Amino acid sequence: MATATEQWVLVEMVQALYEAPAYHLILEGILILWIIRLLFSKTYKLQERSDLTVKEKEELIEEWQPEPLVPPVPKDHPALNYNIVSGPPSHKTVVNGKECINFASFNFLGLLDNPRVKAAALASLKKYGVGTCGPRGFYGTFDVHLDLEDRLAKFMKTEEAIIYSYGFATIASAIPAYSKRGDIVFVDRAACFAIQKGLQASRSDIKLFKHNDMADLERLLKEQEIEDQKVKLKYKYKARIFLEESLSFGVLGEHGRGVTEHYGINIDDIDLISANMENALASIGGFCCGRSFVIDHQRLSGQGYCFSASLPPLLAAAAIEALNIMEENPGIFAVLKEKCGQIHKALQGISGLKVVGESLSPAFHLQLEESTGSREQDVRLLQEIVDQCMNRSIALTQARYLEKEEKCLPPPSIRVVVTVEQTEEELERAASTIKEVAQAVLL
């Protein structure tokens, strides 16, 4: 019975074959031939990895010579020989054996030498020892850290603050915690190296706008809006603002709260303010402050916070005391501003050097009015000026950069720093010394 049905099916098939139109049969025939060809053709090899014999491989390994680990550094490289400061880098320091007045350390409020700060740090040292022996997550959180975060948040009038144990790592860890691949960041050209490294670690798209040029920033934002289709610029274009205030914290504003106080901006409009405590607060480390929504995220994603030991408690205690002093004498900020203005005016009109920087800023640069054409030559000239000033007891320094790594390398310059500890007479003396030396060297 089964064979009959089979036969019957076969007959049906043969019949169908006869009745099929010609093109159908031809098409099927071509397809069958194609399949047979594919089955028997060789598979396509991407790379012949096994072509080299073992002997050839060994020869290659023998022959390969790597570059030396580091290229040799010439002995007269300007950065190789550091200035040695014997003793504390306070107002009067001993640099390379010569006693000088310090116009180079970022000790804006003179708190490096303050006995109250030292006493607070000493008390903390006697209680906790030096190191914290662990990151914040693993028994490295001390009550001093929590205290400092609280005080900073209150001082800056924000909800929360987070501290880091290293100033450079603060903004360099904060940026990649929020901004990832696929995000876009608009950065000022003159942003500091720490910000550049943070941006590099974040792998976001970066658009640079000209230094302090809001029109340029608006142009970039408009371009981005068109592409997307989709303080006043922030709300118009829906961008967030991160502010880096390392040099303006403790300097600008009536109470030293920085740029936001100086311009009277509501601090809630800024998403994140980052600063380091190594300038005005004369301690070590850095902090970020802002709303809890923003700052809390860093407690789990800030690399420099989670994977690094916390700030030694004596430095945190020193920072708290420095904050206390800042809160108690709000008058020092006005004094500092005045001194800045004074020396700014006094240094105008030096032949060969021009003053670069706002008159409000306690750290400004002296650049060569006319560059000689080669950066090395410029650097050498400026170093000559610096050395001669040091011989006359004024300690200055050149602003140092990593020439090959900076995105937008500023021209070489001498950095002059004003602190509250410098008397008017010293400022006058510094100005006149620089004038004389510049005249002697550049003419």
- Tell me the closest approach of the beta carbon of residue 255 to another protein, in angstroms: 21
Closer Cβ to another protein, 180 or 219, answer by number: 180
Closer Cβ to another protein, 268 or 369, answer by number: 268
Closer Cβ to another protein, 344 or 415, answer by number: 415
Give CA–CA dist 413/353, Å, rounded.
Answer: 9
- The interaxial angle of helices 424-442 and 331-346, nearest 10 deg, is 30
- Cβ-proximal residues to 289 (8 Å cutoff; 6+ apart), any chain: 152, 153, 156, 158, 160, 161, 162, 272, 273, 295
- Tell me the closest approach of the beta carbon of residue 28 to another protein, in angstroms: 42
Closer Cβ to another protein, 19 or 67, answer by number: 67
Burial of 189 (0-12, 13-18, 19+ CB in 10 A): middle
- Tell me the closest approach of the beta carbon of residue 314 to another protein, in angstroms: 6
Closer Cβ to another protein, 339 or 415, answer by number: 415
Q: Which residues pair with 92 in a beta bridge?
A: 101
- Cβ-proximal residues to 180 (8 Å cutoff; 6+ apart), any chain: 202, 203, 204
Give CA–CA dist 81/253, Å, rounded.
Answer: 38
How close are the terminal C-alpha atoms of the chain, in Å? Answer: 120
- Tell me the closest approach of the beta carbon of residue 400 to another protein, in angstroms: 4
Cα three-residue angle 370-372-377, rounded to 5 degrees: 130
- Tell me the closest approach of the beta carbon of residue 355 to another protein, in angstroms: 19
Give CA–CA dist 418/332, Å, rounded.
Answer: 13
Closer Cβ to another protein, 22 or 70, answer by number: 70
**322 three-class SS:** helix
Closer Cβ to another protein, 160 or 261, answer by number: 160
**363 three-class SS:** strand
Task: Give whole-number Cα distances, 143 to 124, 136, 316, in Å.
Answer: 11, 11, 10
Cα three-residue angle 162-164-168, rounded to 5 degrees: 125
Q: Which token pair is 202?
A: 């974040």
- Tell me the closest approach of the beta carbon of residue 219 to another protein, in angstroms: 20
Closer Cβ to another protein, 123 or 214, answer by number: 123
- Tell me the closest approach of the beta carbon of residue 116 to another protein, in angstroms: 12
- Tell me the closest approach of the beta carbon of residue 48 to another protein, in angstroms: 12
Closer Cβ to another protein, 182 or 264, answer by number: 182
Give CA–CA dist 140/150, Å, rounded.
Answer: 17
Closer Cβ to another protein, 34 or 307, answer by number: 307
- Tell me the closest approach of the beta carbon of residue 379 to another protein, in angstroms: 12
- Tell me the closest approach of the beta carbon of residue 5 to another protein, in angstroms: 52
CA dihedral of residues 330, 334, 335, 337 (deg, nearest 10): 140
Closer Cβ to another protein, 143 or 424, answer by number: 143
CB atoms within 10 A of CB 249: 29
- Tell me the closest approach of the beta carbon of residue 160 to another protein, in angstroms: 9
Give CA–CA dist 337/335, Å, rounded.
Answer: 5
Per the CB < 8 A criterion, the answer to whether 273 and 245 are in contact is yes
